[in-house]
């Protein structure tokens, strides 16, 4: 693969925006940033027409896309379709996400992700297993019949990927002491979600290595003065919290409150995307439950939100508008913060020498004009 110099757009570096420079790429790595007048010999120049070069977006919660739900197609072909659908919206790295299901389906999903990474499916860096170790009273759209208790065999399964990154969402109050520590000791990143945990139960989970909160505010009780619960713990601790910024899951005032409490290093944008993203379909099923897309939201007939119809560039634009942050900050929450959660901060989420060349070219209107994964467009 040839060495390339991307020039003609503003570049978002870890130190801020720079103009009139070129990003030097030797796949799969960024090898330098130089003035546009000093591009070394041997680089093929790719002249961009304005806009912004930003780190590729990293989405830790992708249930589906391109008409495919990962639970229904826990295969390499299903994963490839999902990744291709989300790449069009600036996602250059993702965790295909299984919602609560039987352990045999989880095993198939893990095997498919292992194969996708081994064969180099662009953008696939691991798996997110959301459930089935959740609180039935906060299950949301998850099938209550699939929920179960965690045991040693489940820990072995959850930690079995062997490559890439594994993120597991569980309700801390449903998991007996020691099992979160067992997961984190084997490299699994553990997040709290679909939970009724008290602040004391959250503290115990953090002592065992809990590192994140899945879709903050959603599928958990609200903060109260004498019962801070999981929301209070999340806002007052270093937990990295995912936010679904689609205008349906969280009110803009609550988004701004989270930002004031946490800042961009502890908030990450996620899509919680379903098969409608990158597809013309307007309805699909989760098990026997029909989900319909209407007015930008996905709901069951009972009105329960069922993931989202959100893509990452829309999440970035919404963060700018609803959270009233600048583009640099929104991109940080879409790339650097999730990379830090997954312990990939040196390679993902930044445009700097030595980092992986996962790059998005945005127009001035904040549409995706192009992407590079590992330096390949």
User: Residue 241, class by beta-carbon neighbours within 10 Å (0-12 exposed, 13-18 middle, 19+ buried)?
Assistant: buried
Distance CA 306, CA 159 (A): 27
Is residue 251 a contact partner of residue 40, using CB atoms and an 8 Å limit? no
The pLDDT of residue 78? 98
The pLDDT of residue 136? 97
The percentage of residues in the chain with a pLDDT greater than 90, rounded to a whole number, is 99
2 band by pLDDT with thresholds 50, 70 and 90: confident
H helices present in 2-128, as ranges:
76-87, 103-119
Q: Is the peptide bond before 132 cis (omega within 30 degrees of 0)?
A: yes
pLDDT tens, 48-85? 999 999 999 999 999 999 999 999 999 999 999 999 99
Closest CA to 57 of 88, 21, 31: 88
pLDDT tens, 260-274? 999 999 999 999 999
pLDDT tens, 171-209? 999 999 999 999 999 999 999 999 999 999 999 999 999
Q: Which of 272, 309, 311, 358 is catalytic?
A: 272
The percentage of residues in the chain with a pLDDT greater than 70, rounded to a whole number, is 100
**How far out from the chain centre does Cα 5 lie?**
28
Going from N- to C-terminal start, the domains of the chain cover: 4-54+354-372, 57-341
Distance CA 107, CA 109 (A): 5
CA angle 260, 252, 86 (to 5 degrees): 100
The pLDDT of residue 28? 97
239 band by pLDDT with thresholds 50, 70 and 90: very high
Distance CA 267, CA 258 (A): 8
pLDDT tens, 123-142? 999 999 999 999 999 999 99
Distance CA 93, CA 58 (A): 5
1 band by pLDDT with thresholds 50, 70 and 90: low
The pLDDT of residue 346? 87
Is residue 212 a contact partner of residue 191, using CB atoms and an 8 Å limit? yes
- Neighbouring residues of 5: CB distance < 8 A, sequence distance ≥ 6: 22, 23, 24, 25, 39, 43, 44, 45, 46
What does CATH list as the number for 4-54+354-372?
A: 2.30.40.10
Look at strands 359-362 and 52-55 and give their pairing.
Answer: antiparallel
pLDDT tens, 209-223? 999 999 999 999 999
CATH fourth-level superfamily of 57-341: Metal-dependent hydrolases (3.20.20.140)
Distance CA 176, CA 302 (A): 33
The residue-averaged pLDDT of 314-343 equals 98
Per the annotation, the verdict on 272 as an active-site residue is yes
């Amino acid at each position: 693969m040839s060495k390339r110099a991307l020039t003609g757009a503003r570049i978002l570096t870890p130190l801020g925006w720079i103009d009139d420079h070129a990003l030097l790429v030797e796949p799969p790595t960024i090898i330098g940033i130089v003035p546009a007048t000093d591009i070394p010999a041997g680089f093929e120049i790719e002249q961009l027409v304005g806009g912004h070069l930003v780190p590729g977006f990293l989405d830790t919660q992708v249930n589906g896309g391109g008409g495919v739900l990962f639970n229904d197609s826990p295969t390499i072909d299903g994963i490839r379709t999902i990744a291709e659908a989300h790449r069009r919206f600036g996602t250059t790295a993702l965790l295909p996400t299984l919602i609560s299901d039987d352990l045999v389906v989880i095993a198939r999903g893990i095997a498919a992700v292992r194969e996708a990474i081994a064969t180099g499916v662009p953008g696939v860096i691991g798996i997110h297993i959301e459930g089935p170790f959740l609180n039935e009273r906060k299950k949301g759209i998850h099938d209550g019949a699939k929920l179960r208790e965690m045991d040693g065999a489940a820990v072995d399964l959850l930690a079995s990927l062997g490559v890439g990154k594994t993120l597991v969402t569980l309700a801390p109050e449903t998991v007996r002491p020691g099992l979160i520590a067992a997961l984190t000791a084997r490299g699994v990143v553990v997040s709290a979600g679909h939970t009724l945990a008290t602040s004391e139960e959250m503290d115990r989970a953090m002592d065992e290595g809990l590192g994140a909160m899945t879709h903050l505010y959603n599928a958990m009780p609200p903060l109260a003065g004498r019962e801070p619960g999981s929301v209070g713990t999340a806002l007052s601790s270093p937990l990295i919290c995912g936010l679904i910024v689609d205008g349906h899951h969280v009110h803009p005032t609550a988004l701004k409150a989270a930002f004031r409490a946490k800042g961009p290093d502890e908030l990450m944008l996620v899509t919680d995307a379903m098969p409608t993203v990158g597809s013309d379909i307007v309805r699909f099923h989760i098990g026997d439950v029909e989900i319909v897309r209407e007015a930008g939201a996905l709901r069951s007939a009972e009105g329960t939100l069922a993931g989202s119809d959100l893509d990452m560039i829309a999440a970035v634009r919404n963060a700018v508008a609803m959270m009233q942050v600048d583009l640099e900050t929104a991109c940080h929450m879409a790339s650097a913060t999730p990379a830090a959660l997954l312990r990939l901060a040196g390679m993902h989420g930044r445009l700097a020498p030595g980092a992986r060349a996962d790059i998005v070219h945005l127009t001035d209107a904040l549409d995706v004009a192009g992407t590079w994964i590992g330096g390949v467009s």
